[in-house]
Amino acid sequence: MQNFDYQTPTRLLFGKGVIEQLPEVLGAIGKTVLLAYGGGSIKKTGLYDKVLSLLEGFTVVELPGIQPNPKYDPSVLDGVRLCKERGVDVILSVGGGSVLDCSKAIAAGAKYDGDPWDLITYKVKAKAALPIVDILTLAATGSEYDCGGVISRTETNDKIGYIDELLFPVCSFLDPTYTFTVSKKQTAAGCADAMNHIMEQYFCEDSTLLNDGFCEAGFRSLMINTKRCLENPSDYTARAEMMFACTLGCNGIYALGNSPSGWPLHGIEHALSAYYDITHGEGLAIVTPRWMKHVLSDRTVDRFVKYGVNVFGVDPALPKFEIAEQAIERTYAFFEEIGIPMHLRDVGIDESRIDEMARHVAENEGLENAWVPLFEADIAKILRDSL
Amino acid sequence: MQNFDYQTPTRLLFGKGVIEQLPEVLGAIGKTVLLAYGGGSIKKTGLYDKVLSLLEGFTVVELPGIQPNPKYDPSVLDGVRLCKERGVDVILSVGGGSVLDCSKAIAAGAKYDGDPWDLITYKVKAKAALPIVDILTLAATGSEYDCGGVISRTETNDKIGYIDELLFPVCSFLDPTYTFTVSKKQTAAGCADAMNHIMEQYFCEDSTLLNDGFCEAGFRSLMINTKRCLENPSDYTARAEMMFACTLGCNGIYALGNSPSGWPLHGIEHALSAYYDITHGEGLAIVTPRWMKHVLSDRTVDRFVKYGVNVFGVDPALPKFEIAEQAIERTYAFFEEIGIPMHLRDVGIDESRIDEMARHVAENEGLENAWVPLFEADIAKILRDSL
C-alpha cells in the first residue's frame, strides 16, 4: 500500500429536490453569480427557469454555450473576462462535466492577472480561485467531486488535464432526476467514462483487497444500472446509483493507496477528442479493449483474471489467459450492448492522423511511466487496432 | 437510494513517515498545543519522544492518562480547563479512538462558557471548537475521519455518542507502523469495532449495489488483514489496509444513500461498556451474532443471504435460511478465531444487571426506530443470549 495525502472538502447534496438549498449555499458565498451552462438543454428541461427563480436577489451574469470538450477560446477566456468585469463572487456551473471543467479554468483564471493558459499548463501555480458551486445534469466525469478539469485548445490540438486543489467545488448539487432526459448515447458514454476512471485506478501494480473490492463494486454497479437507465430513463434508483458511482470516479476514494497507473486510456483518448472532437466516453470505450489486449502479458495477467472473475463472474477454474481474454471480450461486449460505436471509423476517425496522434500522446502524456509503459509505437498500434 | 448531505473536510496523511509533516500542519494552525494521550504506551514505543522533538518551538501543554471509554470526569473537564487557562490553539491527539473522542469533547468544551455536558447531551449546540490534529496508534474506531465521539460518565452509567460537524479533525496522521505494537487483544477488538461500523450501515432496509459492494469489500478486507496482523504484527501491508478500512468506518462513505439502521449494535453495547467498562469492540462482537439471530426473519433473510454469499462465500444454491444461519455462525466463528471472548461472562458480566441495562438502552438509544425495532424485552433477550 502506497502513502497518500487525501482531502476532499466538497459538500455533496444528493437527491431529489436538494436544489431548494441553492440560495442558502450561494448566499453564504456572495451575491454576484456567473451562471455557466452549455448548449441550452437546461432551458428545454426547465432547470434554467428553476435556477433563475432561486437566484432572485442575486446578480446573475450568464455564460452560455459551453461546448463538450470545453474550449479555451472562447469559453474560458469569455468567462474570465466576465468574472473580472462584473466582479463575480461565485461561479454556478449548471450542466455536465464540460461546463464544470470550463468553470474550474475560469475560476482560476479570474484570480490571475496573466494569460490563463499559464495556469492550465502549470507554468504558473494559481494562488487563488473563485469558489464554484455546481448543479450536475449528467452522470459521467466525476468533476463534481474532484479538483481537476480538461480543457481543449483547438488550434494546437491540445487537450490538457488541469488539476489544482483550489478547484474543488464548494458544493455539488446532485439530483438524479436531472439526468432523466439524458440521451441513450450520452448515458452510455457517461458510463464508459466512469468505468474508465475506475479502470485507470484498478489496473496498476500495487493495490489492496479493499480498493479492489471498491473498484469491482463500481464496475458492477455502473454496468447494471446503466442498462437499467437505458431501459427506463426515469428509473430514479438506477439514475441515482449511476450518478453516485460516477461522482466518486476521479476523487481517488475508489483506490487510495494504490500505485499510480499513469492513466493510459485517458492519455490516448485525449488525442482522439482533441483532434476529432468526439465524445470522450466513446473514445475511451473504443480504446479500452484494444489497450487491454496490448498490455496483457505474463506480468499483467493476474490483474485481468481478478477483473474477469469478480466483475464478470468468469469461471475461476479456467486457465488464466482464457479468463483474461474472456474479461476483455466481455468488456467489449458490454460497451457494444449499451450502444457505443466500437470502432474509430464509426465516429469519423480514419487512419490518416494515427501516427500524428500517437506522436502527440507519446510526447505529452508521460505514458512511458504507465503501469505498462507505452511508447509511440505501442500507442499507434492500439489506435490502429481500434480502427 | 436516500438523499444525503455529505462533507468530510479532514485531510488524511497516510503511510510510513508522514509524521515528518507534523510541524508544518500544526504550524499553520497555531503555536500552543494540547498534547493529549493515554496510558503511556506512546512513551514505551518512542512515539512520545518523536512527537516532542517535532514540537520544538511550540508551547506544549500535556494531558496524559486518557482512559479507554474516555471519561467526562476527569479527562474532558481537565482538558477543557487546560485549554482555557493556557490559551491552547490546537489539540494534538496521540493515541487511539478514546484519546481522540476525548479530544473532540475538549475541543468543543474549550470554546463554551458553560458545562461541557450541555454540548455532549445536545442541550446546547456548539458554536465553535478548537481545531484537532491526530496521530493514530490503533486501527479501530474511525474517529480520525468523522466528527463524532463517545464519552462516558461513570456516576450515571451514561455512554453518549456526541456528533458535531465542527469536530472533524483538521488532519489525521495515519502511519501503520505505529500499530505494529498493538496487542492481539486490541487488534482483534479494533477489527470487531470496524466490522460493526460497517454492519450498522449494511444491515438496513434500502441500500445500493455500490454500497453493498463497498461494505462487503470492507468486511472481507478486515477479516483477512486482521488475521495477517495477528500472525505477523509487523506486516506493513496488512496493518496498512486494516488501518484504512477502519478509518472509513464511521465516515459514511461505505454506504452514502443507504437508509439509516439506527445502529442497534452500538446502542446495546454502549450499556455494556458504560456499566462494566469492557473493551468496546469485544462487547460488540459478543452481541453481534445474538442480535443477528434475533432479527432474522422472513423480512430480513435476504440481507443475511447477501452477506453470507458475498462475504463468506456461502453456497448461494442453499435454502435462504440455511445461508443466513451459516452467515451468522461464520461471523461468530471469525470473532472466536481472532481471539475475542464470545460470552459476556468471559468479560466479567453476569445476569445481575441485564434488566437494568436493557431498560437503560430502551430509554436512551432510540432502537424502537432501528432497522428491526428493538424494545426492552428484545434487548434483554439479546443480552441474555450473550451471557
Print the SS3 string covering A217-276: HHHHHHHHHHHHHHHCCCCHHHHHHHHHHHHCCCCCHHHCCCCCCCCHHHHHHHHHHHHH
Q: What is the pLDDT of residues A276-298, one digit of tens each?
A: 999 999 999 999 999 999 999 99
Residue A1 lies in a domain: no
Pair B270, B154 in one domain = no
Smallest Cα distance from A205 to chain B, Å: 14
CATH of residue A61: 3.40.50.1970
Of B110, B143, B178, which residue is a domain's last? B178
Tell me the average pLDDT across B356-384. 97
Contact between chains at B256 and A244 (C-beta distance less than 8 A): yes
Q: What is the pLDDT of residues B314-325, one digit of tens each?
A: 999 999 999 999
Please list every residue in chain A whose beta carbon sits closer than 8 Å to the beta carbon of residue B4: 12, 14-15
- Give residue B154's pLDDT: 84
**Closest Cβ opposite residue B210 in set A8, A212, A221:** A221
Q: What is the pLDDT of residues A293-350, one digit of tens each?
A: 999 999 999 999 999 999 999 999 999 999 999 999 999 999 999 999 999 999 999 9
Please report which confidence band the pLDDT of residue B294 belongs to, taking 50, 70 and 90 as the band edges.
very high
Question: What is the C-alpha separation between A200 and A263, in angstroms, rounded?
Answer: 5
Smallest Cα distance from A144 to chain B, Å: 13
pLDDT at residue A369 tops 90: yes
Contact between chains at B217 and A216 (C-beta distance less than 8 A): yes
Q: What is the pLDDT of residues A6-21, one digit of tens each?
A: 999 999 999 999 999 9
Contact between chains at B16 and A1 (C-beta distance less than 8 A): no
pLDDT at residue A240 tops 90: yes
Pair A155, A32 in one domain = yes
Pair B143, B265 in one domain = no
- Give residue A158's pLDDT: 84
**Least reliable range by pLDDT among A26-30, A270-274, B143-147, B154-158:** B154-158
pLDDT at residue A159 tops 90: no
Please report which confidence band the pLDDT of residue B280 belongs to, taking 50, 70 and 90 as the band edges.
very high
Residue B368 lies in a domain: yes
Contact between chains at A14 and B8 (C-beta distance less than 8 A): no
- Give residue A325's pLDDT: 98
Please report which confidence band the pLDDT of residue B289 belongs to, taking 50, 70 and 90 as the band edges.
very high
Q: What is the mean pLDDT of chain B?
A: 97
Please list every residue in chain A whose beta carbon sits closer than 8 Å to the beta carbon of residue B210: 217-218, 221, 241, 244-245
Nearest CA in chain B to A211: B217
Residue A6 lies in a domain: no
Residue B267 CA: distances (Å) to CA of A19, B67, B364: 34, 21, 8
Contact between chains at B5 and A17 (C-beta distance less than 8 A): no
Smallest Cα distance from B220 to chain A, Å: 8
Decide if A19 contacts A175 (C-beta within 8 A).
Answer: yes
Select from A6, A22, A210 the residue whose CB has the most chain B CBs within 10 Å, as the one to mutate to test that interface: A210
| Percent of chain B as helix, strand, coil, to the nearest 5 | 55, 15, 30
Of B159, B178, B197, which residue is a domain's last? B178
Smallest Cα distance from B9 to chain A, Å: 4
Amino acid identity of residue B293, one-letter, is K
With an 8 Å Cβ cutoff, the interface of chain A facing chain B consists of: 1-18, 176, 208-210, 212-214, 216-218, 220-221, 224-225, 236-237, 240-241, 244-245, 253, 256-257
Q: What is the pLDDT of residues B177-202, one digit of tens each?
A: 999 999 999 999 999 999 999 999 99
Please report which confidence band the pLDDT of residue B136 belongs to, taking 50, 70 and 90 as the band edges.
very high
**Closest Cβ opposite residue B217 in set A8, A176, A210:** A210
Pair A36, A72 in one domain = yes
Residue A266 lies in a domain: yes
**Closest Cβ opposite residue B208 in set A7, A13, A241:** A241
Nearest C-alpha neighbor of A191 from the set A216, A231, A220, A167: A220
Pair B162, B239 in one domain = no
Contact between chains at A221 and B214 (C-beta distance less than 8 A): no
Please report which confidence band the pLDDT of residue A40 belongs to, taking 50, 70 and 90 as the band edges.
confident
Decide if A178 contacts A137 (C-beta within 8 A).
Answer: yes
- Give residue A238's pLDDT: 98
Percent share of chain A, pLDDT over 90: 96
Please list every residue in chain A whose beta carbon sits closer than 8 Å to the beta carbon of residue B18: 3, 5
pLDDT at residue B332 tops 90: yes
Pair A173, A191 in one domain = no
Q: What ipTM was predicted for this assembly?
A: 0.96
pLDDT at residue B156 tops 90: no
Residue B4 lies in a domain: no
Residue A2 lies in a domain: no
Nearest CA in chain B to A168: B9
Q: Which residues contact A10 (CB under 8 A, 6 or more apart)?
A: A144, A145, A168, A169, A170, A171, A172, B7
Question: What is the C-alpha separation between B282 and B140, in angstroms, rounded?
Answer: 12
β-bridge mates for residue B32, sequence order:
B59
Q: Which domain holds residue A276?
A: 184-385
Question: What is the C-alpha separation between A169 and A151, in angstroms, rounded?
Answer: 17
- Give residue B16's pLDDT: 98
Pair A191, A88 in one domain = no
Q: What is the pLDDT of residues A167-215, one digit of tens each?
A: 999 999 999 999 999 999 999 999 999 999 999 999 999 999 999 999 9
DSSP reduced 3-state for A162: strand
**Closest Cβ opposite residue B1 in set A218, A240, A256:** A240
Tell me the average pLDDT across A343-362. 97
Pair A227, A303 in one domain = yes
Interface size between A and B, measured as CB pairs under 8 A: 130
pLDDT greater at residue A184 or residue B161: A184
Smallest Cα distance from B344 to chain A, Å: 31
Select from B2, B3, B216 the residue whose CB has the most chain A CBs within 10 Å, as the one to mutate to test that interface: B3
Pair B301, B317 in one domain = yes
- Give residue A157's pLDDT: 83
Tell me the average pLDDT across A247-265. 97
Please list every residue in chain B whose beta carbon sits closer than 8 Å to the beta carbon of residue A17: 3
Tell me the average pLDDT across B303-316. 98
CATH of residue A348: 1.20.1090.10
User: What would the DSSP string read from start to end of B17-79?
Assistant: TGGGGHHHHHHTT-SEEEEE--SSHHHHHTHHHHHHHHTTTSEEEEE--PPSS-BIIIIIHHH
The pTM assigned to this predicted structure is 0.97
Please list every residue in chain A whose beta carbon sits closer than 8 Å to the beta carbon of residue B243: none
Decide if B301 contacts B372 (C-beta within 8 A).
Answer: no
pLDDT at residue B285 tops 90: yes
Residue B5 lies in a domain: no
- Give residue A130's pLDDT: 98
Residue A146 lies in a domain: yes
Pair B30, B170 in one domain = yes
Question: What is the C-alpha separation between A100 and A145, in angstroms, rounded?
Answer: 11
Pair B172, B190 in one domain = no
| Number of folded domains that form chain A | 2
Of A178, A202, A219, which residue is a domain's last? A178
Pair A174, A208 in one domain = no
Please report which confidence band the pLDDT of residue A155 belongs to, taking 50, 70 and 90 as the band edges.
confident
Tell me the average pLDDT across A121-150. 96
Decide if A199 contacts A288 (C-beta within 8 A).
Answer: yes
**Closest Cβ opposite residue A218 in set B2, B3, B210:** B210
